[in-house]
Amino acid sequence: MKQKVSKKFEELYGEGAQLFTSPGRINLIGEHTDYNGGFVFPGAVDKGIVAAIRLNGTDRVNAYALDLGEQTSFGLNEEDKPSEGWACYIFGVCREMQKRGGKIGGFDTVFSGDVPLGAGMSSSAALESTYAYALNELFHCNIDKFELAKVGQSTEHNYCGVNCGIMDQFASVFGKAGCLMRLDCRSLEYVYFPFDPEAHGYKLLLVDSRVKHELVDSPYNKRRQSCERVVATMQKKHPHVQFLRDADLTMLEEVAPELSQEDYKRARFVIGEVRRVLDVCDALERNDYETVGKKMYETHWGLSKDYEVSCVELDFLAEVAKACGVTGSRIMGGGFGGCTINLVKKELYDDFVATVKSKFAAEYGHEPKIYDVVISDGSRRLE
């Protein structure tokens, strides 16, 4: 990818570019907990975005998306928002850096990526983090890494229409090879957890359904609104509840009569999920991978039945995994398509991969893709 991007840059803009990269992420457990002030447990992967960038001394950005073969040019004022979706991420990052005092000028850039799109591995966060990290260095903005993650998140909020939490951008910026990160999304305190399932006889793999159900009325933002309504209802009795993270099931039962059945179920999932992250971290410290796997299935069915962000294809994948004796399997990321993440005993790996491919293809007409997880470093400059 490095060579491809450099070559294209030279072709379009000449010599002297610098290369930067940021990864996509997996999440072992802790889904839809980030915007509820809870815990997540992600790690960066060996798939990401690579960008070549050179300042051009003007007030315009010229950008080329190598994988799409599309080029665009835009200014750096609010009214200059480009029409291409992909360019809005770069534009958004520039604007958010400016809002934080960064003196961002024009630059030329080419980028490419190998994070599968729509797979729930945060290709968009990889793109945002790449530019946030690079522009911070190239324009000497002195913005710290936490704020760089927030630049990406605000880009989603203000320029891409997704009211996401902080997990993806954090994981992309702070990733560390061989480590998962347990992040408290309220305080942003985090701990690196060395994670080496192979040493204990397990492998972690993603099964990508290659389906993406684009739902028109932004179901992600709606989930978030449900959670906020439940918090507002609880606050009447429990003023200290700022996020669902602060609530327990007793409090939920108390306010249940005032909630819609739907909001009730959403909150029930989140309250359980925040707990599950901590349980999984404890289990990992004991090398108790069976408990980790059990919790992963709980998350899957909670996301499916209570949070309702699954789809038939993902439920099918989790069921096939269970039938194959896979230790843990669940939807990863926002939902509505994409991957399951699977914890499988080494001796079952080949069998599971063959079975899930053939069963899925028989049911849905195409094979899922399989990715082995390699936990890798976060945002950085490339030599």
Positions marked active-site: 168
Find, among 313, 360, 328, 287, the residue nearest to 29 by Cα: 328
Contacts to ligand GLA by CB under 6 A = 31-32, 34-35, 122, 164-165, 167-168, 333-334
For the bound state, the minimum distance from the C-beta of residue 204 to ligand GLA, rounded and expressed in Å, comes to 17
Contact between residue 5 and residue 66 where contact means Cβ atoms under 8 Å apart: yes
Q: Please, which contacts does 183-188 make with residues 24 or more away whose CB atoms are closer than 8 Å?
A: 183/34, 183/39, 183/40, 183/41, 183/42, 184/38, 184/39, 185/33, 185/34, 185/35, 185/36, 185/37, 185/38, 185/39, 185/40, 186/37, 186/38, 186/243, 186/245, 188/146
Return the exposure string of 197-230: e unless at least 16 CB atoms fall within 10 Å of the residue's CB, then b.
Answer: beeeebbbbbbbbbbebeeeeebbeebbebbbbb
For the bound state, the minimum distance from the C-beta of residue 60 to ligand GLA, rounded and expressed in Å, comes to 30
Closest CB to ligand GLA among residues 334, 368: 334
Identity (one letter) of the amino acid at 380? R
Closest CB to ligand GLA among residues 335, 368: 335
For the bound state, the minimum distance from the C-beta of residue 382 to ligand GLA, rounded and expressed in Å, comes to 25
For the bound state, the minimum distance from the C-beta of residue 319 to ligand GLA, rounded and expressed in Å, comes to 22
Closest CB to ligand GLA among residues 102, 333: 333
Phi-psi region of 342 (alpha: psi -120 to 50; beta: other; left: phi over 0): beta
Closest CB to ligand GLA among residues 108, 168: 168
For the bound state, the minimum distance from the C-beta of residue 333 to ligand GLA, rounded and expressed in Å, comes to 5
Closest CB to ligand GLA among residues 165, 197: 165
Identity (one letter) of the amino acid at 24? G
Contact between residue 370 and residue 207 where contact means Cβ atoms under 8 Å apart: yes
Contact between residue 145 and residue 174 where contact means Cβ atoms under 8 Å apart: yes
